[in-house]
A = this chain, B = another copy of it.
Amino acid sequence: MEKKLSIQDIAALTGLSTYTLRYYENIGLLSGIERDAKGYRVYSMEDISCIEFVIKLRDTDMPISQIKEFSDLRRQGNSTVIERKELLEVHQANVIKQMKELGDNLIKINEKINHYKKLAEQA
């Protein structure tokens, strides 16, 4: 008794537009999505978690080309688990670096705000 979800449903659930959902499928970020008798896309629960993970990769600034690599590995099955792990570990390091750099820049922005506060007090 699996729920069958339309592209509209998925758009509402994931926050991606229907355009983007088709685009992601076309370029190979998503695959194995069923079609009904009319040729309409039908999404499973597993598809949703797949999409949500793609969104997490994207939101941590993984380029689409690399998300595609990851998706291609997944499509190839269990033999690629180690490769997928390694790909994610590289990305993990990038995200940590990104956060550190954001933190450093945030400090500088804070300093500038404090500088302006002092200037404003003097006036």
Contacts and interface: CB of A to CB of B under 8 A. Distances in A.
Given A84-B116, A109-B91, A99 B96 contact: no
Contacts of A88: 109, 112-113, 116
Please classify how large the interface on chain A is, using the bins under 10, 10 to 19, 20 to 34, 35 or more: 20 to 34
A59 B82 CA distance: 33
A85 B108 CA distance: 13
A119 to B, nearest CB: 5
Looking at chain A's contact residues, is the secondary structure mostly helix, strand, loop, or mixed? helix
A84 B110 CA distance: 12
Contacts of A84: 116
Count of this chain's copies in the oligomeric assembly:
2
Given A59-B101, A92-B106, 4 more contacts: A78-B119, A81-B116, A81-B120, A99-B102
Interface of A: 53, 56-57, 59-60, 78, 81-82, 84-85, 88-89, 91-92, 95-96, 98-99, 101-103, 105-106, 108-110, 112-113, 116-117, 119-120, 123
